[in-house]
Structure 1
């Protein structure tokens, strides 16, 4: 019997980005065939199963990680916690003595409504900005770590900590690739996990030496001009395509 999937989320959806830690090293150590069969494949199967249990949808396969989408941030963060606990308690590894596979995760909630395709509810289309920002939130995460954007943290249900046995540690003023100013990331702490500083702090121009401030100011100005002339590249081709402005990611 075919699996019954949840409906595609809409509205202010929450995205989950995952990535296998040290995937390149593992693939080089074991070879592509073993890596795919014993690590990446079982990892993807578990992700799909747990995502669907938490009423999310598997949106994109990005190689050593996935993108999932949920209608509510509480479901998304609950899913991330369930996945991290699963990888810890029932590790995926090569053989009996290989190091366990570890995953890093980041979540972001769209600041505006994301809609389904007007003619086909099974063809979701999501604005690119919220997805791109989610990828930046996931970027500095470490093995076993879950990082949230401010939008996701503020949207969680009252009593989330007690219900899911987790707390949150803020990391303000973090530097995110391709974004100016500092951003607050929330470290999800569970089962005795200690806070771990993600990435590097954002240093304002006023705190830099005149020479470094001048170099960065010129670099950022050039980047802004280039971005205004050339929109960011679309996601990898294949299962998903990008529509015309406003930039959307949609399933085809």
Structure 2
């Protein structure tokens, strides 16, 4: 039996290539439901689009007791995904072929990590309606990616209405954050931004590490219109610099050891 597949788009990206997203699959066999979901990478556009699992997908089996209940379960599950901006996906989702030269060994890298998040997105979406909100989000992602490209940032993933990216230099990440702020204000959006610098591990093409979690927690401490950085980012800044900071105090970041001093980017 063919497994129906759905790709989370958040906006219409049928003519866009080279982004990360999520995929979800469901298959019914008699009274049983087989689910599979996970992060994916999208290459190409239109009929030439190819979707690869970024990492091993999660799987789950649901025993519904009867074929009728299983059918209702599948219909309900599909309806929920469609309401969360998933679109039907034709073709297969495969594991990205490994290069013969690729090494299975872990690789470590140091980067400045940027997390962008829209403030009040749920209320904004409800006010504008699905059609207008989808259009606004299309402009939002286009603006973010334009600034990332200008600043030589690397998009890692999208998280709902947020974006996670990395930079080789902290100043580039900060300048990109303020540029994104200015760009999205023309769309009537306010964002909060957090930046942290640290090591992460690349394993099988996946980026993992505590640094990403710290960056997310820093962003959560920011208010609308604020760009907050951790002390690790500030310490890496070359002096003199045109970027000015204001001490934002010492904070306990949820789930992160020790307290961290944060700084607000001024100007």
* TM value normalised by structure 2: 0.56
Instruction: Name the one with the larger strand percent.
Output: 2
1:101: how far off?
A: 0.8
Q: Computing the radius of gyration over CA atoms, which structure comes out larger, 1 or 2? A: 2
Whether the 8 Å CA contact 2:114–2:165 is kept in 1: the answer is: yes
1:10-29 alignment, distance < 5 Å: 11-29=109-127
1:37-76 alignment, distance < 5 Å: 37=135, 39-76=136-173
**Contiguous gaps of at least 5 residues in structure 1:** 5-9, 93-99, 191-252
Whether the 8 Å CA contact 1:167–1:188 is kept in 2: the answer is: yes
1:73: how far off?
A: 1.1
The answer for the alignment partner of 1:182 in structure 2 is 259
Match of 2:131 among 33, 58, 72: 33
CA-to-partner distance for each residue in 1:35-58, whole Å, 9 max, x for gaps? 111x21111111011001111111
Whole-Å separation in 1 of the counterparts to 2:132 and 2:17:
28
1:73-92 alignment, distance < 5 Å: 73-88=170-185, 91-92=186-187
Instruction: Name the one with the larger helix percent.
Output: 1
Whole-Å separation in 2 of the counterparts to 1:52 and 1:108:
20
The list of structure 1 runs, each at least 4 consecutive aligned residues, that deviate by more than 4 angstroms after superposition, is 115-118
Whole-Å separation in 2 of the counterparts to 1:176 and 1:31:
34
1:30: how far off?
A: 1.4
Whole-Å separation in 1 of the counterparts to 2:256 and 2:17:
40
The answer for the alignment partner of 2:226 in structure 1 is 145
1:86: how far off?
A: 2.7
Counterpart secondary structure, 1:11: strand
* TM value normalised by structure 1: 0.59
1:115: how far off?
A: 5.3
Whether the 8 Å CA contact 1:171–1:186 is kept in 2: the answer is: yes
Counterpart secondary structure, 1:55: coil
1:32: how far off?
A: 2.2
The answer for the alignment partner of 2:88 in structure 1 is none
1:174: how far off?
A: 1.7
Counterpart secondary structure, 1:80: helix
The answer for the alignment partner of 2:239 in structure 1 is 158
Counterpart secondary structure, 1:52: helix
1:81: how far off?
A: 1.7
1:116: how far off?
A: 4.8
For CA contacts below 8 A with separation 6 or more, give which structure has more relative contact order: 1
1:26: how far off?
A: 0.5
1:157: how far off?
A: 2.2
